[in-house]
Amino acid sequence: MKISKRIMALSLAAAVAVTGLAGCGGKTEASSQGTSGGGAASTSGTEGGGAPKEVDTVTVWSDNISQKPIRDEQVAAFNEGIGKELGIKIEFTVYGTDYMDTIKLAAGNGDAPDLFRSDSKWLTDFVKAGYVVALEDMDCESSRNLIEMFDPYCIPQRHTMNGKHYTLPYSLTTYKFLINKDLWAKAGLTEADYPKTWAEVRECAAKITAACNGDAYGFGLGLGTLWTLSSYFTTPAGKWTGHYGYDYADQQFEYSAYAPMLEELYGMTQDGSVLPGYESMDADSLRAQFSAGVIGMMPAASFDCALYNVQFPAECDWAVIDVPTVTGENDYKDFVQPADLLCVGTNALSHYENVMKVMEYFYSDECAAEFYEEAVLIPVRKEAIELAKKEPAGKGFAEFAEGIDNTFLLAMSPDTIVKVKGLTYREVMANYLTVGGDINEILGELDGRYNEALKEISPDELALYLSSDETIKK
């Protein structure tokens, strides 16, 4: 993919604009020696035969592998355009599954990069440990611009803490259901049979399984990676529960709300309608099986589109439909999850004005529009979507992106701060789907343990996890 003229124009326009600025927080003092995690000054080229021009390197780490091809092109455009004008070079590194361990080790040793991909699982701990810096503490025009642009989408305890911004949302994750149209037709089913309830999912899964005689199965489930339970089941269920485990209105955990859905899922395992091996199957293995055409239905998130179009190109014809509910109706908006992009490491303080220019570039609407056009992500800002010059290219992506104006941006849940005795909610649900039991009794006990742990949280801290019912209802 070639970089669009919009990105090149952005680079040139930004270069002209920034050249006329006096600077964000004073002139950067470049050093001839490298610094841990970035900020190293080097020399590159000469101007008019004079002394070599100093170049300030801004380091950026991520684990967004699906974004790498486009982001590499954008980084190259920056380095060859505005970067040369400003004397800034982006050094961009993408890690794999080892990213979490790598960034935690680097941050603990003081070797973290200037900018790195944020994760709500550990950002609060990083803030408390002093591993990251708030945008307000690097006061300059770029940081102020970023806060103004993204503050309307920021969520307390995820993006803002103690009244300051530590990361910003970049894109949205939406949730849908996938249908293998080939297996659907083989079972004698039509679009009119697309399930609206979980009971209908079970009925259709049984018909597909019977029609395939062991060559394919009606439903795909993978319990080898527990995050799939929240990303594919409990979070999307917010459209009929009004929460995703924690009831904001009552300030109580209510995992028991998922009992009807979990009963149908367990029923499918007992019917023999679930692809065998689900007990230990991880997310990528499950996706590969759907792409191979041996699964009739399964839930998915918007980030899966790139996988089924590029990483695991689907060998079957597939369609995207709405997530089923328990009754077929729902009083709540579809829940969507903000995906964060970057936070700022402490090594950025030595040259923060340049770091903020790089962060502003990464977060620009023009760059986000590129990802939307290529069906990689859904920008959180409508302004970025409106800049797109073509419809998203990937199959199924338009269905994942539609209707985002009438969605609920997920508030944080205190499940990340309570100290619960015993198994976590994901572990409890996975155990039930494997061995069964009295689901109402199991989830009742689970609610009791979580709500008992909730009593240890101070009222002031718990108040940070409130969300208005009016923002959730349709």
pLDDT in tens, 243-283: 999 998 889 999 999 999 999 999 999 999 999 999 999 99
Structure confidence at residue 52 (pLDDT): 53
pLDDT at 320 over 90: yes
Structure confidence at residue 5 (pLDDT): 37
Q: Is this prediction's pTM over 0.75?
A: yes
pLDDT at 138 over 90: yes
Q: What does the H/E/C string look like for the chain?
A: CCCCHHHHHHHHHHHHHHHCCCCCCCCCCCCCCCCCCCCCEEEEEECCCCCEEEEEEEEEEECCHHHHHHHHHHHHHHHHCHHHHHCEEEEEEECCCCHHHHHHHHHHCCCCCCEECCCCCCHHHHHHHCCEECHHHHCCHHHHHHHHHHHHHCCECCCEECCEECEEEEEEECEEEEEEHHHHHHCCCCHHHCCCEHHHHHHHHHHHHHHHCCCCEEECCCCCCCHHHHHHHHCCCHHHHCCCCEECCCCEECHHHHHHHHHHHHHHHHHCCECCCCCCCCHHHHHHHHHCCCEEEEEEECCHHHHHHHHCCCCCCEEEECCCECCCCCCECEEEEEEEEEEEEHHHHHHHHHHHHHHHHHCCHHHHHHHHHCCCCEECCHHHHHHCCCCCCCCCHHHHHCCHHHEEECCCCHHHCCCCCCCCHHHHHHHHHHHCCCHHHHHHHHHHHHHHHHCCCCHHHHHHHCCCHHHHEC
pLDDT in tens, 398-442: 999 988 888 888 888 899 889 999 999 999 999 999 999 999 999
Higher pLDDT, 30 or 97: 97
Structure confidence at residue 283 (pLDDT): 93
Q: What is the mean pLDDT of residues 79-101?
A: 95
pLDDT in tens, 24-65: 333 333 333 333 344 544 444 444 444 556 899 999 999 988
Structure confidence at residue 53 (pLDDT): 64
Structure confidence at residue 248 (pLDDT): 86
The domain limits of the chain are 5-168+340-392, 175-301+412-472
Q: What is the mean pLDDT of residues 181-204?
A: 98
**Domain spanning 5-168+340-392: CATH 3.40.190.10:** yes
pLDDT in tens, 376-388: 999 999 999 999 9
Fold matches, 5-168+340-392 and 175-301+412-472: yes
pLDDT in tens, 338-363: 999 999 999 999 999 999 999 999 99
pLDDT in tens, 321-334: 999 999 998 889 99
CATH superfamily for domain 175-301+412-472: Periplasmic binding protein-like II (3.40.190.10)
pLDDT in tens, 157-170: 899 998 999 999 99
Q: What is the mean pLDDT of residues 84-96?
A: 96
Average pLDDT, the chain: 88
